[in-house]
Structure formats: C-alpha cells, structure tokens
Amino acid sequence: MDLRTPIGLLFSIFGVLLLGFGATHTGADFERVGVNVNLAWGGVLLGFGAFMLLLAALARRKAEPDHD
C-alpha cells in the first residue's frame, strides 16, 4: 500500500469537512484575526491531500507503463 494514498485521502476529507463547516459557520464567533480559519485552512488541507493523491497516482503510473 502506497502510504501517500491514505494520507492524501484523510487530509482531502478533512479539507472538505472544514471547507463545508467554514462556509456554513461564519461570523465573529468563527473568525480569528479577521480570518475564517476553517475555510482558509480547509482549502490548504484539501490542496495537500490532493497533492499526495496525485503523487500516489503518478507512482502507480510509473510502475505499470503498459496499462492505459
């Protein structure tokens, strides 16, 4: 099992959850220093998760060049 897959998956899910929560829970209670932290960081996590999944997919592609 390529470790990048579960890592990518977990952080992508976290990212989506935080993006969703951040988009639906706004206002002073959920902002810090003027930033909607859930929304902002949710995006970062999703980006990181997607990047890891991409690396895993590329590694898979490299290992089976005859399949397509």
Minimum CB separation from another protein for residue 47, in Å? Answer: 11
Beta bridge partners of 36: 31
Place of tokens 């995006």: 43
Minimal CA–CA distance to 47: which of 17, 18, 8?
8
- Helices then strands, counting H and E runs in the chain, come out as 2, 2
* 11 binds another protein, rule: CB under 8 A: yes
Indicate whether 46 belongs to the interface with another protein (CB under 8 A).
Answer: no
As measured in angstroms, the least distance from the Cβ of 62 to another protein is 14
Rule CB under 8 A: which residues touch another protein?
Answer: 1, 3, 6-7, 9-11, 13-14, 17-18, 21-22, 25, 29-33, 35, 37-38, 41-42, 44-45, 48
